[in-house]
Structure 1
Amino acid sequence: MRLSEPVIANLELAKPAACGPGDSLSPDMPATARQGRFPVEALPARLRTYVEAAAVATQTLVDLAAVTCLGVCSAAIAGRFRVAARPGTEQPATLFVASITQGLSREADVFAQAKQPLQSLEAEQIDQARVPRIEAQSILRQAKIRLRQREKQAAGDIQKYREAAIEFSKQVDENRVPALPRLLFDDTTTEKLSTMLAAQNGRLARFSTDSAARDLLSGSTSRRSLAEQALYRKGYRGEELTLDLRGGERCFVRRSAITCSAMLAETEVAGLRHGRGRRTRGVLDAFLFAWPARDPTQLPAPPQPIPGEVLQQYDTLIRSLAARQFDITFTLTSAARQRWEAWQAEVETMMQIDGPLEMLAAWADHLPGNTLRIAAILHSINDANELEISEQTMEAAIAIARYFIPHALATHQLLSQQPGAAPPRYVQTLPAERPLSLIHI
C-alpha cells in the first residue's frame, strides 16, 4: 500500500530494532517482523500454556501457535456459538486466519500439532458412525430390492401393485444413509464442498498449507473460483445456504459456519502478486494475517518437548468446546459494549481519508466484527455458561485484533506491489500503548 505524503508527514518516524546475528527475515517482510508481537497474555490460561509450550518445543515465536490455535478453537465452536453486540446483529464465532512463514519444517509441526485434537475427534466420530451407517446402507438396499420387485409386478398388474410400489418408493426416499461426520477438509471442488456442507449442516473447517492456501487467497476470476469465493464468504458471514446437489436435489442450510486456517510460505505470498490487477478481492479481506517470522533474538531457549499434561489439557479443551450440542448466542455487558463501540469508532477513524487504513477499508470493515468473534472464542474457553461477555474479555479481544493491523498492512502492501518491485519503504504499526507510528525500513 502506498502511503500519501500528508500521512507520512504527520506520523512519527522510528527506526526498527537492530538485527540480531543470524537474522533470517525475508527481504519481502517489512519491519513488522519485529513489531507488535502477539499479546499472548490476552489468551485464557489453559490456551496460553499450550501456546507457550509449543513455541518452546519448536523454537518458533508464539505468534504462529497462538494464531493457529485461535483457528482451531473457532473450528471447535463453529455453528454452535454466535455473538451479538446489539439485538439483531448476530454473527458466527468463525475466523479466517493465515500465518505467513518461512516454510520451515518446525513451523509445519506447529500447524499440524495444533489441529491434532480436531483430527483425533473426527476420526473417533467416524469410527462411531460406521456401524449405524452400514446398517442404514443394508436397510436401503433391501428397500430398493423390494421396490424393484413391486415395480415389476405393477407393470403386469397396475391396479393390484401400483399402491405398493409407490409406498416402497417412499421408503427408499426416506431411508437415507447418513454421511460420515466431517470436521475438517483441505482443498476440494466447489461442488464437493457444497455436498459436504449439506451433509454436515453447514459446519466445516478448512486447514490448508502452501499451494492450497494460495489458491484460496488468489482471487481468481474463473467461474469455478468465483463460485467458491461466494460460498466461503457466505460461510464466513453465517448466512443461509441454498445448495444445488447432484441429481437435481436442493438443500437448505439455515446457519452456515466455515472456518479457515491457512499457513503459507512467504514465497507463496509473493507469488500472489502476479496478475493481482486482474483478480477480485475474493476472501482476502476476511482474513486476519500474521507474519511470525523467525527472529533468533526473541526465540525461547532451550528447546523442550511439550509436557504430556499440557498436551492432554489442550486436547481436553478443544474436545470440550466441540462437545457443545446446543446453540448459544453471547451478548455483551454494558461495559463491554461501550468498549467495543469505542474500538469500532477508532477503526472507523483509521479508515477515513489519509487514515492508516484508508486503502484497507474493506479489510478494516471486518475488524470490529472479527473482534467480536475473538471475544466469543475467548469467552467460550473461560466460561461458556455465562451468556454475557465481560469488559475484561473484550479488552483482551481488542488487544489481539490490534495485533493483526500492521500484519494486514504488510500483507496487503506486498500484494499490491508489481512483481520485482522493492519491498515497502514504510510500514505502519499500532502499539496499544501509543498512537500510530511509522516504521522506516
Structure 2
Amino acid sequence: MWEEPIPLTGPRKLAPFPIEALPGWLREFVAAVAEETQTPVDLPGAIALSVLATAAGGRSVVQVRGNWREPTNLYVVVSLPPANRKSAVFGLLTDPLYEAEEQLVALHQPAIVEAQMTARLAKEAADKATAKVASASADEQDQMRATAIALAQTAESVSVPAEPQLLADDATAETVTSLIAEQGGRISVMSAEGDIFDIIAGRYSGKPNMGVFLKGHAGDRLRVNRQTRKEYIEHPALTMGLCVQPQVLDDIGRQDGFKGKGLLGRFLYSVPESLVGRRKSKPDPVPEQVKETYHRHVIDLTLFLADWTDPALIQLSPEADDSLLAFQERVEPLLAARGGSLGHIADWAGKLIGATARIAALFHLAQHLTRGHTLPVTEATMRDAIALADYFTSHGLAAFDVMGADPTTERARSVLDALRANRWREVSKRDLMVKLSRSEFPTAADLDPVLALLEDHGYVRAQPVHRTGGRGRPPSPRYAIHPRLTDPTA
C-alpha cells in the first residue's frame, strides 16, 4: 500500500509582518500607509527598514561581541505583482529622505562654494606662475619653476566636496561606486522597480558586475583602479530598498551570473500576498499628525548622523546580547547541509544573526534618535528585531523556492518527469540514468541525494538488492515507483 506522496515544495505558510515590533512612531505611519494605499503592511514595513538604513547606514555600527561589528545598512526586496501601488508607497516612505537631502545641500552649499573659489584661484595662480617660467631669464628660471610647482601642488590639494546625496535610482555599478566615494562612503538605491537586477547582471556591460554590491553590504574595502579614475573606500555602506514583480525573482534564479556569487544571500526578502481584488474603495488617509511625526523623526535622525566621520557605535546590553545568542543557537542547527531546514540557503541564513543585530541597532536609533549612541540596545528591542528575523526567514524560504536555490529539489523534479514519461512500475538506477540529462546528472552518484529525497517524500521505495555471488558488475539498485506517477487516477 502506498500513502499519498508529500509534495516536494508546497505553498509555504508565510509569517505575517510583525508590525507590532516596529518603534511606535514608525509603526503608526506604516499602518496608516498600508491603509491609505490598500497594500499589504509588509510593503511599507519592509521599505521603512530601508529608510532607517539610509539615514544611519555608513554613519553607525553595532558592536555585537568581541571584534564582531555590523554596519547598519540593509538590502531589502519586496516581491509583489503589478497594480499594488508600489510607487505610491515608496513616495510616502522616502519623501523625508529627499527633504533631508535638500537641507544637507543647503547646509553644505557655503563650504562648497568657498572650496570651488579657492580651487579656481589656486589653479589661476599656478597657471600664471607656469607661464612666467618660459619667459624668465636663466638666473630666475629655477626659482620660478620651484614656485610654479609649489602653486600647482597647492591647487591639486584643494578638495571640493560633492553636493550631499542620500538616494540614487537604478544605477550602474560604476555610478554606485563613484557615488559611495563622493558621499563619504555611503549611498542608498531605492526603487519601486527591479531594473537594478538587470543592471547588475550586465545589461550595459554584457557581464555581471557585482563587486560594489557585494562589498557595499559587508563594508569590505573597495578599491577601483581604472585609466580614468582611482577610488578607494575604506568601509563602503550601500543600502538597497527595492520592490520587484515575482517574475523578476524567477528570472534571477535562471541567470547563472547570480548563482554562487553571494549577492542573493545579502537580501532580506518579503513576498506578501497581494490585496488586489479585496481593497477598500474609500480607505482612511494617513493622519496628518502621524505623517508629520514620521517626517520629523526621519529628518532628525538623518541630519544628526550625516556628518559623523567616525561612525556612531551602538552597544548591546548584556540582556540583548543574551537574546541574540539564544537566537543564534536556535538558528545554527538549521544550517546543517543534511536535515537542516535552512541548509539549502546557508549562504543567506548564515548572515541572519548579523542582519538581526543591524535591525536591532536601527530600531534603537529610531527610538532614541539623537541619543542612540549613548544608550545600549535593550532586550525588548532585540526581541523585536528577532521577530523581524523570523519573518524574513519565512519569506526568504519562499523567495528561494521561486529562485530555485535547492538544486536537489530541482533535480528531483526532473526525475519525477522521467518517471511519469516512462510509466515504470519499477526501475533500476542504471536504467533511470539513461533517461536523464548528463548535464544535470554527470555521474550516478549525483542521483543518490535525489533518490533519497524522493524516497523521503514517498514517491519511490528502494528494493532489496539480490547479489548472485558471481563475478562482474554488481546489480544496479532498483526502486518501486508510486502508482500515482504511472496512473494519476490510482
Q: Which amino acid aligns with 2:81?
A: Q
> Contact (CA 8 Å) 1:103, 1:266: kept in 2 or not?
no
Is it true that 1:257 corresponds to 2:241 in the alignment?
no
> Contact (CA 8 Å) 1:118, 1:318: kept in 2 or not?
yes
Structure 1 residues 39 and 254, CA, compared in 2 at 3 Å: closer, same or farther?
same
Give the match for residue 195 of structure 1. 178
Gapped regions of structure 2 (runs ≥ 5): 415-456, 458-490
Q: Which amino acid aligns with 1:43?
A: L
Give the match for residue 394 of structure 1. 382
C-alpha deviation, 1:397, in angstroms:
0.6
C-alpha deviation, 1:165, in angstroms:
0.5
Structure 1 residues 267 and 116, CA, compared in 2 at 3 Å: closer, same or farther?
same
C-alpha deviation, 1:211, in angstroms:
3.8
TM-score by length of 1: 0.81
Structure 1 residues 339 and 202, CA, compared in 2 at 3 Å: closer, same or farther?
same
Is it true that 1:242 corresponds to 2:223 in the alignment?
yes
- Aligned pair count reads 392
Give the match for residue 340 of structure 1. 324
Question: Could you say what secondary structure the match of 1:166 adopts?
Answer: helix
Report the aligned-residue RMSD: 2.9
State the identity %: 28
Partner residue of 1:415 out of 369, 393, 403? 403
Question: Could you say what secondary structure the match of 1:389 adopts?
Answer: coil
Q: How does 1:1-16 map to 2 (within 5 A)?
A: none
- Following the alignment from structure 2 to structure 1, what is the Cα–Cα distance between the partners of residues 279 and 380? 29
Is it true that 1:215 corresponds to 2:194 in the alignment?
no
Gapped regions of structure 1 (runs ≥ 5): 1-7, 14-28, 423-437
> Contact (CA 8 Å) 1:236, 1:258: kept in 2 or not?
yes
- Following the alignment from structure 1 to structure 2, what is the Cα–Cα distance between the partners of residues 30 and 171? 67
Q: How does 1:26-37 map to 2 (within 5 A)?
A: 31-32=11-12, 35-37=14-16
Q: How does 1:272-421 map to 2 (within 5 A)?
A: 272-276=252-256, 279-295=259-275, 303-322=283-302, 323-324=304-305, 325-326=307-308, 327-352=311-336, 353-383=338-368, 384-416=372-404
Give the match for residue 18 of structure 2. 39
**Which fold has the larger relative contact order, with Cα–Cα distance below 8 Å and residues 6 or more apart in sequence?**
1
Deviations 1:16-66 (CA, angstroms, capped at 9, x unpaired): xxxxxxxxxxxxx9745x631100001111100000000010001111000
- Following the alignment from structure 1 to structure 2, what is the Cα–Cα distance between the partners of residues 248 and 408? 38
Give the match for residue 16 of structure 1. none
Deviations 1:125-144 (CA, angstroms, capped at 9, x unpaired): 22444454344333322322
Question: Could you say what secondary structure the match of 2:403 adopts?
Answer: helix
Structure 1 residues 217 and 407, CA, compared in 2 at 3 Å: closer, same or farther?
farther
> Contact (CA 8 Å) 1:270, 1:414: kept in 2 or not?
yes
Structure 1 residues 140 and 222, CA, compared in 2 at 3 Å: closer, same or farther?
closer
> Contact (CA 8 Å) 1:84, 1:330: kept in 2 or not?
yes
C-alpha deviation, 1:278, in angstroms:
7.9
Give the match for residue 268 of structure 1. 248
TM-score by length of 2: 0.73
Structure 1 residues 311 and 113, CA, compared in 2 at 3 Å: closer, same or farther?
same
C-alpha deviation, 1:114, in angstroms:
0.7
- Following the alignment from structure 1 to structure 2, what is the Cα–Cα distance between the partners of residues 30 and 276? 25
Give the match for residue 453 of structure 2. none
C-alpha deviation, 1:83, in angstroms:
1.0
Structure 1 residues 53 and 85, CA, compared in 2 at 3 Å: closer, same or farther?
same
Partner residue of 2:36 out of 38, 53, 57? 57
- Following the alignment from structure 1 to structure 2, what is the Cα–Cα distance between the partners of residues 208 and 46? 24
Question: Could you say what secondary structure the match of 1:85 adopts?
Answer: strand
